[in-house]
Each structure stands twice: as structure tokens, then as C-alpha cells.
């Protein structure tokens, strides 16, 4: 029905305002006259084309196309609804028209136009869901990450993966909480074929054969020192010896059925070595997502609590990158590309959008961004304290990571965000 309602239109006596520009300042000269375009002032105005013309609902007259055309040619033009009056501005609004040739707001003036010109999109297929697993039967809440749990590998995990798949998130990455008694200085549990991660991969692949499983390749969950590599007596993290262990770890994960192994350790040369080790064992089809630009960030705090993997001494600054550095990310990018990485990852996410864009513009490989634990917890905390709208901030942060150039995003919000995209309310 051709009916339009304008609510709360203020057609009251307007103070017409004359002005003249002096530089950028508006000199207002308010005079109390009736605004020229204001004729009447209903609070709620309904324009109903059919009623306004007194012929009720528009009926078809049974005319042919030719008859319709002939009528118009003869000057009998069918009436359309009248042009609605211009809604009134508040009293006191200055009269102003700028001679602009460009008005970017034109392309933003309706939801349909905004949707048409949206440059970036996001879908559940872009998300990878990081999941913490442990040997237990129960799901244990992680204090520093509201809404996240150490999931029992046999029960809670399988359920959570099912929920994610229901809303289109079919990629996960596993992080194990390893019992202290299994941690050693060389992290050998990392390549135990019956360890928590390989066991879990086999279980998941059995239940969900098409699930894409990413794994973390690094020694920290298995290291009694809490470092990503083997620590020498003097505190030095040993590079090549660590890479040797990482190769065994990656092969063990591939053997269990991992689709993408993801070295997050930042040792030099590990991508090439892992590629060679995988190929030598017949795992040519297994991809490598390299943590190309992983910064020595304080945003990892909640994650380390989740896995109880804080370094026992020192920090990770001799292998993870300095947050002050930008160009150095290009060195890592070139190395990883040359060594055969399939996906390049930037971590953390939101504070490092420039690095995501840098990789995007300097490589043709897919780019991943990791919205890390600290980023997640800040948004959650802000939401719980009602300081921000959690859901909107969550969606905006993910969209911004996409806009910066990330193809995929590892995020603890994966399930919540995908539900939101599917129109489900929590
Ligand atoms: C360790 C690893 C870390 C994260 C992923 N893999 C922590 C670290 O480097 O200390 C952090 C993820 C997060 O904070 O969400 N290999």
C-alpha cells in the first residue's frame, strides 16, 4: 500500500536563521519568522495515496498496454502519490546550503546503499576457533578468559566443535594443557603419538572427517621451562636443536590427521625444516601456517594462564619480535615464503593492523590474524562491566581485522561471532 508515516515531525514555528560565512565561522542572525516551507504541523503525518485520491485501493482497470499508453499520450496521466512534504528541522536551525560537488554521505544514506557499497565482508568460514583441551572429564573455566574453558578432550571438546560446525565454523586449532609431570626441558611429550593432541585429532577426525584441524607447533606446553624452545644452561633458547624437536612434533600431528600445522615458536628456519620433514614422511598434503610476525606481546597473558605455560624465567624477547618493529616483519615474510609456508600469520591482531596490511601488500599468500587472549578478555571484561556493547565491539574488531587484510581470523569469539552472523541471539 502506498502509505507513508512520518513520526514526530516538528512543524512548529521555526526561527529562520540567516547567516553569512566569514572564513569558517558562521555568523548567526536569528529572526523570529515562520519558516517558508512550513504550512501545517501535525505530530504524526500519514500520507495514503489511495485515500488522498478518493478512489480506494488501486484497482486494475483491465486495460491493455496499448490502451494505457494511448491514455497517457492523450494526457490522461494516472496519479501517483504526492511528493511528501520536506520534514521540518528543529526550530532555530540555520538556513545553509554548501556548494559541494562531492557529498560522500549520499552513499551512506540508507541501509540498502550502505550494504551495496560495503567493501569488506566476514563469514563464519573466515574464522578458526582456538580450543583449550586437557586430560580431564570436566570442562574447567579459565578465570582470565570469561566464556572459555579447558575442555575435556573426549566430551566437552567434541560438543563444542559440534556447536561451532552448526553455525559454519569448521576450522579449529588445538592448545593442550599438559600435566606438569610430563613436562621436560626438551619437551619430548610434544611428539608422543599417543599424547593429548594426536589422540584428540584422531578422535575428532573420526567424528567429523571434514573438520579442518590446525595444530600449534611449539614446545612451551611441554617444556618444564615454559619456553617455546630448548633452554641452554645460560638461558639461551637453542634454535636448531629446537627446530629438530618441532619437526618431530609436526610429523606426529600430521600422522594423527592434522590438516594444518602452525609453528608459533619463532625459531629461524623452522618452516623449511618442517616442510622437508613432512614431505619426507609422505605428508605433502599437510599445510603449514607460519606464525610469521609473532610479537613478544603482553596480550598473551590470559593464554599462558589457561595453559599454565608462563616462562619459568625471563621472557620470549630473543625469539618473538619487538612490538616496536615494522620492517622486520618483511624479513620474516620473505623467509617464510621461501621456505614454503602456505599461510602467513600475524599475532596479536588488533594492535598490529599495520603489520597485517604490510603482509597483505607484500605477499600473495593468505594472511591469518590471531585475535589473542588479551584482546578477547579486554572486550569480554568491558562487556561484563557494561562499559561497551560486547557483541558490537566483537563484530567490529573482527571486521577490522578483515579490512586490514586478514583472510582468516583465529579468535576465541569464533562461536559467539558465528552465531551472531547467523542471526542467533545468545
Ligand atoms: C605459544 C603460543 C602462545 C599463544 C599461542 N601459541 C603464547 C606465547 O607465545 O607465549 C598465545 C595465544 C593467545 O594469547 O591467545 N606457542
Distance 268 CA to ligand 1 centre (A): 17
Distance 303 CA to ligand 1 centre (A): 6
**Of 177, 294, 316, 380, catalytic:** 294
- How far is residue 313's CA from residue 298's CA, in Å, rounded to a whole number? 15
pLDDT of residue 344: 98
In this structure, are residues 401 and 395 in contact, taking their beta carbons and an 8 Å threshold?
no
Q: What is the CA radius of gyration of the chain?
A: 31
Atom number of ligand 1 nearest to Cα 376? 15
pLDDT of residue 307: 81
Distance 292 CA to ligand 1 centre (A): 13
Q: Which helix (H) or strand (E) holds 355?
A: helix 353-362
**Count of C-beta atoms within a 10 Å radius of residue 408:** 21
pLDDT of residue 305: 84
pLDDT of residue 425: 61
**Of 177, 183, 316, 347, catalytic:** 347
Distance 3 CA to ligand 1 centre (A): 58
Residues facing 237 on adjacent strands: 231
What residue's CA is closest to ligand 1, atom 7?
Answer: 300
What residue's CA is closest to ligand 1, atom 6?
Answer: 264
Distance 231 CA to ligand 1 centre (A): 18
Can you list the residues of the chain whose pLDDT is less than 70? 1-56, 425-426
In this structure, are residues 350 and 397 in contact, taking their beta carbons and an 8 Å threshold?
yes
Atom number of ligand 1 nearest to Cα 311? 10
Instruction: Output the ligand 1 site: residues, CB below 6 A.
Output: 216, 218, 220, 228, 264-265, 300, 303-304, 316, 372-373
Atom number of ligand 1 nearest to Cα 320? 9
Where does residue 389 fall: left (phi above 0), alpha (psi -120 to 50 degrees), or beta otherwise? beta
Atom number of ligand 1 nearest to Cα 218? 16
Using most ligand atoms within 8 A of CB, pick from 148, 218, 289, 371 the residue to mutate for ligand 1.
218
Q: Residue 161 CA to chain centroid, in angstroms?
A: 19
Burial grade of 25 (CB within 10 A; 0-12, 13-18, 19 or more): exposed
The candidate with the shortest Cα–Cα distance to 171, out of 417, 421, 415, 425, is 415
pLDDT of residue 43: 41
Helix (H, G, I), strand (E, B) or coil at 49: helix
Atom number of ligand 1 nearest to Cα 302? 14
Give the Cα-Cα-Cα angle 114, 116, 121 (nearest 5 degrees): 85
**pLDDT, tens digit, 9 for 90 and up, residues 27-53:** 343 333 344 433 333 344 344 444 444
Cell, residue 55:
478512489
What residue's CA is closest to ligand 1, atom 14?
Answer: 300
Q: 15 an active-site residue?
A: no
In this structure, are residues 147 and 380 in contact, taking their beta carbons and an 8 Å threshold?
yes
Using most ligand atoms within 8 A of CB, pick from 172, 214, 228 the residue to mutate for ligand 1.
228
Tell me the DSSP string of 365-423.
S-EEEEE-HHHHHHHHHHHHTTSS-HHHHHHHHHHHHHHHT-SEEEETTHHHHHHHHTT
Q: 294 an active-site residue?
A: yes
Distance 332 CA to ligand 1 centre (A): 18
Amino acid at each position: 500500500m502506498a502509505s507513508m508515516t512520518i513520526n514526530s515531525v516538528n512543524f512548529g514555528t521555526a526561527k529562520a536563521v540567516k547567516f553569512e560565512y566569514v572564513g569558517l565561522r558562521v555568523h548567526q542572525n536569528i529572526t523570529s519568522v515562520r519558516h517558508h516551507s512550513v504550512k501545517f504541523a501535525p505530530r504524526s503525518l500519514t500520507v495514503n495515496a489511495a485515500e488522498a485520491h478518493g478512489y480506494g485501493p488501486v484497482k486494475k482497470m483491465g486495460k491493455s498496454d496499448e490502451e494505457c499508453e494511448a491514455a497517457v499520450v492523450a494526457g490522461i496521466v494516472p496519479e501517483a502519490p504526492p511528493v511528501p512534504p520536506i520534514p521540518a528541522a528543529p526550530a532555530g536551525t540555520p538556513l545553509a546550503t554548501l556548494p559541494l560537488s562531492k557529498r560522500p554521505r549520499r552513499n551512506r544514506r540508507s541501509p540498502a546503499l550502505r550494504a551495496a557499497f560495503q567493501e569488506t565482508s566476514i563469514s563464519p568460514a573466515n574464522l578458526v576457533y582456538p580450543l583449550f583441551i586437557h586430560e580431564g572429564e570436566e570442562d574447567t573455566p579459565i578465570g582470565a578468559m570469561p566464556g572459555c574453558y579447558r575442555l575435556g578432550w573426549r566430551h566437552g571438546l567434541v560438543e563444542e566443535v559440534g556447536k561451532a560446525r552448526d553455525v559454519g565454523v569448521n576450522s579449529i586449532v588445538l592448545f593442550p594443557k599438559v600435566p606438569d609431570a610430563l613436562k621436560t626441558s626438551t619437551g619430548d611429550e610434544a611428539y608422543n603419538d599417543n599424547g593429548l593432541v594426536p589422540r584428540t585429532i584422531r578422535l575428532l577426525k573420526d567424528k567429523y572427517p571434514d573438520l579442518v584441524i590446525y595444530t600449534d607447533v611449539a614446545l612451551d606446553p611441554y617444556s618444564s621451562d615454559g619456553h617455546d624452545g630448548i633452554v641452554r644452561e645460560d638461558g639461551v633458547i637453542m634454535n636448531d636443536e629446537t627446530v629438530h624437536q618441532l619437526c618431530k612434533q609436526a610429523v606426529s600431528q600430521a600422522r594423527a590427521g592434522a590438516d594444518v600445522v602452525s609453528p608459533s615458536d619463532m625459531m629461524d628456519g623452522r618452516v623449511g625444516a618442517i616442510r622437508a620433514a613432512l614431505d619426507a614422511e609422505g605428508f605433502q598434503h599437510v599445510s603449514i601456517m607460519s606464525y610469521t610476525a609473532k610479537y613478544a606481546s603482553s596480550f598473551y597473558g590470559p593464554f599462558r594462564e589457561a595453559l599454565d605455560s608462563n616462562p619459568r624465567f625471563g621472557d620470549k624477547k630473543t625469539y618473538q619480535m619487538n612490538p616496536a618493529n615494522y620492517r622486520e616483519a618483511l624479513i620474516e615474510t620473505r623467509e617464510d615464503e621461501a621456505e614454503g609456508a602456505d599461510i602467513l600469520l600475524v599475532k596479536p591482531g588488533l594492535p598490529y593492523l599495520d603489520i597485517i596490511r604490510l603482509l597483505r601488500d607484500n605477499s600473495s599468500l593468505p594472511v591469518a590474524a590471531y585475535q589473542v587472549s588479551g584482546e578477547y578478555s579486554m572486550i569480554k571484561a568491558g562487556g561484563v562491566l557494561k562499559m561497551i556493547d560486547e557483541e558490537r565491539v566483537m563484530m567490529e574488531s573482527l571486521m577490522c581485522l578483515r579490512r586490514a587484510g586478514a583472510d582468516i581470523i583465529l579468535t576465541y569469539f569464533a562461536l559467539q561471532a558465528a552465531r551472531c552472523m547467523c542471526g542467533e541471539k545468545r
